[in-house]
Amino acid sequence: MPDDATPTPDADVAQQAQRFRDAYNAVSDQIGNVIVGQRDIIDGVLTCLFVGGHALLEGVPGLGKTLLIRSLAEALALDFNRIQFTPDLMPADITGTNVVMESPDGGRQFTFQQGPVFAQIVLADEINRATPKTQSAMLEAMQERSVTVAGRTHKMAEPFFVMATQNPIEQEGTYPLPEAQLDRFLFKLLVEPASRDELHEILNRTTAEATPTIRSVLDGPSIVEFQRLIRRVLIATHVQDYAIRCVLATHPNGQFATSKVNQYVRFGASPRAAQALVLGGKVRGLLDGRAHVSIEDIRSVLLPALRHRVLLNFEAQAEGVTEDQILEDLIEQVPTEAPAASA
């Protein structure tokens, strides 16, 4: 089936597409006033924000991961909190706890004191430096947009966006994130070192007299409105089937598995991976001026959507094979047209 065989787009979605692109570019430009380069990382973070997902950034210290999320918070009129994850951080330090307060009549009562996770943008800085018990305190907030303490559920304000940073696992003093928590992140983005030219520009911006500034260009209600708009973008059945087959191709010994998946992968991606592909593809479509998703849109977000959801085996680790290498091969191997059903 040809890639342009799509349902008729909603006229209102098509009309709103330009407004979304303008808002997206306005936020991106404000971040670009401070962050040099890293366009793929900025696009990945903004995609997560606009579809209501969360982002995980991995890279060695000093690459601007924390500065990026601070810049994003300044470009948006949203509440912002930073949580610095350390080995001695406790779950209650994140979610909050009940404290005894004296009432006006002299009595005492328990009152819930909110933790720093109660913000619209939360920076979980160096999340893999905390113990798994503390890391898991973020699970309910990220998935359910709520926190339960002492049997009572407290809702988060919308929009709610978590951006976590982590150092590579091989660095001393870090703990691998549990697979269940990794799966809650829409994208995992790898932050690479700056190039020679980018380092020149970084020094020009940070060691000269002038200081880059950021102004707020978007508010919470507008972000929620755009999140709803993105979900109205259409995806044809054959494009959705391609996304599904890409996810199923990460399952070793499955119907669509590639030879490298069978050799190097222990466990494949979950259904959340398919959701991430479709939602990310819808953002790509809108940014390209379309109210529908193409197969190329799915391909463009496949690496950040799947790389943290594929668990490699010992053979892959021994041979230095990475998730990205397996997924790049998967993109080449999975056909864009569905194979004919077997008799």
- What lies within 8 Å, CB to CB, of 50 at 6+ separation is 20, 24, 223, 226, 227, 230, 283
36 and 85 Cβ atoms separated by less than 8 Å: no
The segment with the largest mean pLDDT, out of 32-41, 106-115, 301-310, 334-343, is 301-310
| Residue 11 scores a pLDDT above 70 | no
Confidence of residue 1 (pLDDT cuts 50, 70, 90): very low
Q: pLDDT by residue (tens digit) across 137-193? A: 788 788 888 887 777 887 888 888 888 888 776 666 677 777 877 888 999 998 887
110 sits in which H/E element: strand 108-114
Q: Identify the pLDDT of residue 173.
A: 67
Q: Identify the pLDDT of residue 343.
A: 41
Q: Identify the pLDDT of residue 99.
A: 75
Q: pLDDT by residue (tens digit) across 35-73? A: 777 788 888 999 999 999 899 988 766 667 777 888 888
Q: pLDDT by residue (tens digit) across 69-111? A: 888 888 888 888 888 888 888 888 888 776 777 767 767 776 7
Q: Identify the pLDDT of residue 2.
A: 44
Which is nearest to 290 in space by CA: 236, 216, 334?
A: 236
Confidence of residue 279 (pLDDT cuts 50, 70, 90): very high
80 and 125 Cβ atoms separated by less than 8 Å: no
| Residue 3 scores a pLDDT above 60 | no
| Residue 266 scores a pLDDT above 60 | yes
Secondary structure (3-state) at 203: helix
Domains of the chain: 38-218 (3.40.50.300)
Structure tokens at 66: 């924390």
Q: pLDDT by residue (tens digit) across 231-249? A: 988 899 999 999 999 999 9
